[in-house]
Amino acid sequence: MALPAAGRGVLNPLPYTELAAPPGLRLWWLRLDEMPDAAALATLSADEIARGKRFAFEGLRRRHLASHVALRAILAQQTGLPAAALVFGAGPFGKPFLQAPAVCVFNMSHSDDVAVIAVAPDAPAGTEIGVDVEVLRPMRDAIALAGRNFTAAEQRELLATPPELRDLAFMRGWTRKEACLKAIGSGLSIPPDAVDAGLLPEQAEVHVAHGGAHHRLQLHSLPEHADTALAIAVGNGGPLSAPPA
């Protein structure tokens, strides 16, 4: 994997696959099956390196380091700043953001040895995005998992799906739900079954009401890429003052 040298902005073009994304968004898909070299690791902060060292298994450590090197490379390309100069903060539930003056809205997700990074380079102030990726695989417990995490409508939709398409439908629904929760930046404070995102791969406006707050999100499922399901949600960055009409 070709990666940016320490202290530089980024290679052009990036050595990752850019996928088609909804207007105003950019999306990159990458594999995490190679450990970055020393020059690439030098673009990371001491905290990112330390967090990587805390993983007991080499595969988890590699995925953490490779994904954060890729994130810095992409954000360096978007902001024009050196990858090593980027400074991150975290929201109240741990959602990372890029600190000023290099404001650029982003989100990252990974599944096994795959990651996706979404960026909204020219988003209005207060915009938040959430992205989720899941490697497609057999789901023997899809119905049981849906019973614990899906809304009643989503459970009915899954049961009505032909058995041969049920695993894909579950993964589509899961990525749609996770993208919404990540856009809100709520962590686990909002349970998955509070988000009715649906299982069909279509654009939708999703409303999430929880704890007296009401969030409005634009949700997109993207075409499956290399046996992965993908979804992106875009929100206004805060709760609405009143529930939707």
* Tens digits of pLDDT across the chain (245 residues): 444 443 344 556 788 999 999 999 999 999 999 999 999 999 999 999 999 999 999 999 999 999 999 999 999 999 999 999 999 999 888 999 999 777 799 999 999 999 999 999 988 888 999 999 999 999 999 999 999 999 999 999 999 999 999 999 999 999 999 999 999 998 778 999 999 999 999 999 999 987 788 899 999 999 999 999 999 999 976 655 444 44
Task: Please give the CATH number for the structural domain made up of 17-121.
Answer: 3.90.470.20
Query: What is the reported pLDDT for 12?
Result: 63
- Residue 234 phi, psi (nearest 5): -125, 130
Query: What is the reported pLDDT for 62?
Result: 96
Under 8 Å CB-to-CB from 171, ≥6 apart: which residues? 134, 136, 139, 229
Contact 37/23 with Cβ under 8 angstroms?
A: no
Q: How far apart are CA 135 and CA 145, in angstroms?
A: 16
Query: What is the reported pLDDT for 210?
Result: 77
Question: In the structure encoding, which two tokens stand for residue 56, read together?
Answer: 């007991």
Query: What is the reported pLDDT for 103?
Result: 79
Cα–Cα distance list, 129 to 29, 52, 90, 217 (Å): 16, 25, 14, 9
Q: How far apart are CA 222 and CA 176, in angstroms?
A: 10
Total-model pTM: 0.91
CA dihedral 12, 15, 20, 25 (to 10 degrees): -60
Domain ranges within the chain, ordered by starting residue: 17-121, 131-235
Query: What is the reported pLDDT for 245?
Result: 47
* Domains 17-121 and 131-235 fall in the same CATH topology: yes
Q: How far apart are CA 167 and CA 181, in angstroms?
A: 21
CATH classification of 131-235 is 3.40.50.2300, yes or no? Answer: no
Q: How far apart are CA 140 and CA 161, in angstroms?
A: 15
- H helix runs in the chain, sequence order: 38-41, 46-53, 58-79, 142-149, 152-160, 166-184
Kindly report the length of the chain.
Answer: 245
3-state secondary structure of 69: helix
User: Nearest CA to 230 among 154, 121, 118?
Assistant: 118
